[in-house]
Structure 1
Amino acid sequence: MKFVDLAEVAVIGGQGGDGMVSFRREKYVPAGGPSGGNGGNGGSVYLIAEPNLQTLLDFKYAHQFKAKPGERGGPSNRTGARGEDRYIEVPCGTAVYDADTDELLGDLITPKQTLCVAAGGKGGLGNRHFLSNRNRAPEHALPGLPGEERTIRLELKLLAEVGIIGLPNAGKSTLIAALSAARPKIADYPFTTLVPNLGVVRKPTGDGTVFADIPGLIEGAHDGLGLGHEFLRHIERTRLLLHLVDATAPDPLGDYHTIQQELEAYGQGLSDRPQFLALNKIDAMSSEDAEVLVEMMEEATQRHVFSISAVTRQHFDGLLQAIWDTLDQLEPAEAIAIQNYPANLVSDPAELRSL
């Protein structure tokens, strides 16, 4: 399945039904008066978070979604039927923006959470509403109003507990393949991973924790260089970061600072996120050289440095235990992602009629 995490679509609420001009024509009712009913409201377009979806691929082929219009009002004060709403399924973790104003409309985090993105038009009033002492037989009604129309931008931001970051070829894909059942593409050249990979890592208690292998970042990623913004946003929702540094690189400390500078420049609180630092590929060097490098990195970064080998699975236990202990003290991933939701974002579709 192709991974797509950006899409723009047009959404159009249904047209409201027209009001009706009608008069009662009943036997024994000599002054029946106006009885034209109101038009029905147009249907609205809603996005609904679906946990079984992982990509926005469907929106590459469907670019417009429209709700049904409301029906015209009827005689005998009958209100026209309301237009049918349109529901569009999106993956959990989808942020919704107005494409023209860049305004955040809502953030769909939890399963079945629902967001109205285009309200239906209001139905027009029938002629019974215009009855007055001066006009006992009104012969006009109001047309239905058009539905809301806008272009929205969908941005999928993965919901993961732990984001694995580092320069290209640091061994991130090898690590997530060793920790979980994920099978990303692995090769000995940079930018092997072009899309994020998710893997579930089991805790000793049996609970699963989602790790995300974020494609390699380079200097200038916050300005869009390399894969840049395409994947930096995927670590916005992670509870903590695992920074992987290639111990065999010419300048491991310089590689560490490159990624830290990109996190700080990108913003969104990434530089303040709890972070673990791990030197990978220690199987390719002597134990003495590895110890010297760890001491040097700890002194320069003022962080505890884990030394691991994703290939031979060395020293995984200590790193994972530290991650489990930290996760137990942090807010859930959804709490990090939740923002100030607008009034039209609800968690239960049953609440929609009260909007």
Structure 2
Amino acid sequence: MASKKLRRTGVSADLCERLKRHQVETCQDVLSVTPVELMRLGGLSYPAALELLRLVSKACSPTVRTALDLWRKKGELCFSTSLPVLDRLLQGGLPRGALTEVTGPSGCGKTQFCIMLSVLATLPKSMGGLDSGVIYIDTESAFSAERLIEMAQARFPEFFSVKERLLEMASRVHLFRELTCQDVLNRKEFDTSLPGNLMHRSNLLGQEAAVLKYLSQEFCIPVVLTNQITTHVGEKVHCPQRNQADVSTEEDSGFVTAALGNTWSHCVNTRLIVQYEDTERRQIIIAKSPVAPFAVLSYTVQREGIRLEGNENPESSFIYGTDPGLQPIRLRTGFIYNLSQATPSSC
């Protein structure tokens, strides 16, 4: 909230321009100076400087809400995934005004899940959508417009049988890609063994998370992120759920954790883990949520996107009382992934 621009707080355009000349552009900039300094920088009287501080403080402070208000409006604070069992567990769907992370090995359906959510967000509210646009930031060039169209037509054939609706849906998904050399350099990995790099990376992650949380809360929108996995070679982790018949002795020499580490894992509000169950079926694991129990659901990736399979009696699929930090992630090849150092307890 402190990074909010002054022009969005109700401050006059003339005063914003005067303060901008002195590099005072955000709420944090204003609140970091004294009333006397504001008088000098903005050409204000002392009462006017105090009033500006009061206005800015109110604008960047989170709105006070009671638990009763949240309970009454819980239906308006969720975004349906169109997967009934998952929505029920998450008390309505993905939270709006919070960060949701989907992490797991490549090829498990993270991109498919995001494309499906993009279609859903453009739908009318009467169909469970947001009747809104989508900002899709693709850092791996994995987004497919053809897949977006195919998924929309397969999942909602009657609604998207009209070509105009299909075109309108596609026009609402705004794709951003990082394709320049400078973008690649900006995404370089940090050698955490070098002094200061770990702290620098943690600070950057914290800043990015703060911006995303501000946007999600300010506009009451869902923010969904995908996270990769990082291999730690030469380390062993004991996992009581491990099937030794599926893993060779050579594969026991390493394990992986969700990328970005503990700093990032504490920033996300909901964490979904995707993993392989077998060559066709996969699993969604609710590993972290302020409202949902730890649960495991089976799914497959079809033309219409994600489809839950074999969860008619979902209680039989749940693993209550299981530490999400010890839940292994299974690859198609039989490797076992472990998030023991990456998944914190729910805050």
Fold match, TM over 0.5?
Answer: no
TM-score (norm 1): 0.24
TM-score (norm 2): 0.24
More helix as a share of residues? 2
Give 1 or 2 for the bigger CA radius of gyration: 1
